[in-house]
Amino acid sequence: MASSLQRFALCLAIIALMSRAAPADQPHRFVLVRNAKNPTTHMSLETMKAVYSGRTTTWSNGDMLVVVIGPEDSPAMAWLADTVFNVSAKTLLIRIKQQVFRGEMPHPITAADDGAAIAAIAAQPNLVGLVSEAAAKALPSGVAVIASE
Amino acid sequence: MSARVGAIIAVACMAGSARGDTVINFFGDVDYYVDHHGDTTNTFQAPDLDIFAMQTDGKFAFVGELLVEAFGQNTFDIDADRLEVDYKPLAWLHFRAGRIRSAFGYYGDAYQNGKFFMLTALWPEMYEGNGFDGIVPSHTVGLHADASRELGNDVGRITLDAEVLNGRGPNLDTVTVYQDQGNHKGIDLRARYVGEGALDGLIVGANMYIDRIESDLNVGEEHPAEAELILGAHAVYMGDRAHVITEAAWFRDRDVVTQTLYETIAAFGEFGYGFGDYMPYLRFEYLHIGSPDPYFVASGFPTYDHEIVTAGAKYTATASVAFKLQGSVTVQPTMNDYRALAQAAFAF
């Protein structure tokens, strides 16, 4: 029962987030977010690159690190590919797929948008993902920002 | 808005059970060949369907890969190409057990069975030929451990792979998944430098593989027991636009009774340069047979020196579909062999 209420509250928070989405003509910026139970509060750009390329696959406690990614045409994926890797979203997605197929990287979870990414991360402590700065300003209590260094 | 909200609610409601979900991927290719041998000089092929699944739990992961394959025949066989349990106790230490791709060279465990990821339409012959398996011991069963050490200052890292394996089967096609041929085990060691920073994309590595091949007395497949030593080296650069893979391996198999030595050298270089979604490529392969190895011969591997030159282009249409067009010539002692191939490769 408590779990259902939590999920209902989470859904309400996400709906509220969606109504505050940035206007389309504003450039999107994205921040890393984590499950609030995860103690990692900072991450360098190099570490972020290592995480999304499958070179770093564990958290400091040893648990498997699983990334949440957007679809190929999502703003989050475009931002990640362009800003962190300097490649197209298609190229980055293929690299991730290949690392997964090699068995070197846990299968990522695909989230259609900020709300879906937040919901997934709230449910699993070992996930990390990108959400827009606008969404990061109103995160539910189970999700927190990872500051970039 | 309502559709988005519906999707969010659906995801939120499913999120609690997401941990138990297993994502299944499908890989495969559809080909069209033209050559000048036999009665049929052109044909369509739909030879592979690869079903891949991975599940993680804490420090453990399971990888399963089923290959439905028509390999040199018109009927499909089902093969568990990978069946492995992974354990990663530390960020720099990784163990695998089960049926795995051996850590020999670069191509085998870089691409697994994903032709979509490969630049060329076909494997280098040392890994897989036209209807026969390659001479690199890439499919195996056993234990794998790898460790890496950062060199610091964004210089790169050194990685070491060590494997204890059932080793070679009675022929190149057979993987000893249920029972080894004998009590000797194969040992595979690989050391690599993996570049970072300014050298990101560079991999330089070397291998040593030691095995004992048991004799086979089946008519038509006879070969003596052999002690095998393979030394290999590879240098790879995968940049944003440039693609370079070079590999070489020296196979020395010794008849354990007569002490006769059989030596084989296989090497290839593969080069590509990207223009947007298009990447033209060129590959040169070299095979030198010092003296034909009965074990390789019994499995249908060529017994003569030859070179293969392949030129083509890959068009990556989406993150899941790629098209390739290539032509190749095999330069051999008798008549040269020409072949053209169009391929649609997918990874969903």
- The residue type found at A109 is I
Q: Please check whether residue B19 touches A, CB under 8 A.
A: yes
Residue A93 in this model has a pLDDT that exceeds 50: yes
User: Cβ separation of B319 and A93 shorter than 8 Å?
Assistant: yes
The count of other CB atoms within 10 Å of the CB of residue B249 is 21
- Mean pLDDT rounded to a whole number for chain B: 87
CA-based nearest distance A23→chain B, Å: 15
Chain B residues with CB under 8 Å of A103 CB are 54, 61, 63, 82, 84, 86, 96, 112
pLDDT for the residue numbered B24: 86
pLDDT for the residue numbered A63: 81
Residue B53 in this model has a pLDDT that exceeds 80: yes
Give the pLDDT mean for B66-75. Answer: 84
Chain B residues with CB under 8 Å of A111 CB are 11
Which residue in the set B8, B91, B110 is minimally distant from A58, CB to CB? B91
Best of B19, B56, B99 to substitute, by most chain A Cβ atoms within 10 angstroms, is B56
Question: Tens digits of per-residue pLDDT, A103-123?
Answer: 888 889 888 888 888 999 999
Q: Please check whether residue B52 touches A, CB under 8 A.
A: yes
pLDDT for the residue numbered B20: 47
Question: Residue A96: enclosing H or E segment and its boundaries?
Answer: helix A89-101
Which residue in the set B4, B59, B61 is minimally distant from A18, CB to CB? B4
Residue A21 in this model has a pLDDT that exceeds 50: no
Tokens of A110: 């695909």
Residue A24 in this model has a pLDDT that exceeds 50: no
Pairwise pLDDT comparison (B42 vs B12), residue with the higher score: B42
Which residue in the set A46, A100, A123 is minimally distant from B15, CB to CB? A123
Residue B283 in this model has a pLDDT that exceeds 90: yes
CA B257 to chain CA centroid, nearest Å:
32
Residue B273 in this model has a pLDDT that exceeds 60: yes
Pairwise pLDDT comparison (B161 vs A57), residue with the higher score: B161
Tell me the pLDDT band of B330, cut-offs 50, 70 and 90: very high
Give the pLDDT mean for B77-82. Answer: 88
Which residue in the set B4, B59, B96 is minimally distant from A64, CB to CB? B59
User: Cβ separation of B11 and A111 shorter than 8 Å?
Assistant: yes
Residue B91 in this model has a pLDDT that exceeds 60: yes
pLDDT for the residue numbered A9: 54
Name the closest residue on chain A to residue B103, using Cα atoms: A102
Of all residues in chain B, the percent with pLDDT exceeding 90 is 53
Pairwise pLDDT comparison (B13 vs B309), residue with the higher score: B309
Cβ(B186)–Cβ(B165) under 8 Å?
A: yes
Question: Tens digits of per-residue pLDDT, B115-150?
Answer: 999 999 999 999 988 777 889 998 889 999 999 999
Tokens of B158: 């050194």
Cβ(B25)–Cβ(A136) under 8 Å?
A: no
Closest among A121, A128, A127, A116 to A143, alpha carbons compared: A121
User: Cβ separation of A90 and B112 shorter than 8 Å?
Assistant: no
Question: Tens digits of per-residue pLDDT, B16-47?
Answer: 333 445 778 899 999 998 988 778 888 898 88
Rg (CA), chain B: 22
pLDDT for the residue numbered B312: 97
Name the closest residue on chain B to residue A9, using Cα atoms: B12
Map B72-133 to HEC letters.
CCCCCEEEEEEEEEEEEEECCEEEEEEEEECCCCCHHHHHCCCCCCCCCCCCCCCCECCCCE
pLDDT for the residue numbered B212: 93
pLDDT for the residue numbered B9: 36
Chain A residues with CB under 8 Å of B58 CB are 62-64
pLDDT for the residue numbered B263: 94
CB pairs below 8 Å between A and B: how many?
A: 117
Question: Tens digits of per-residue pLDDT, B208-255?
Answer: 999 999 888 776 678 889 999 999 999 999 998 999 999 999 999 999
Which residue in the set A62, A98, A119 is minimally distant from B114, CB to CB? A98
Three-state DSSP class for B268? strand
Name the closest residue on chain B to residue A57, using Cα atoms: B91
Which residue in the set B19, B25, B61 is minimally distant from A124, CB to CB? B19
User: Cβ separation of A101 and B114 shorter than 8 Å?
Assistant: yes
pLDDT for the residue numbered B13: 37
User: Cβ separation of A119 and B8 shorter than 8 Å?
Assistant: yes
pLDDT for the residue numbered B119: 96
pLDDT for the residue numbered B8: 36
Rounded to whole angstroms, the Cα distance separating B133 from B126 reads 8
Question: What is the pairing mode between strands B93-101 and B139-150?
Answer: antiparallel
Question: Tens digits of per-residue pLDDT, A30-51?
Answer: 899 999 888 888 888 888 888 9
Cβ(B229)–Cβ(B217) under 8 Å?
A: no
Residue A26 in this model has a pLDDT that exceeds 50: no
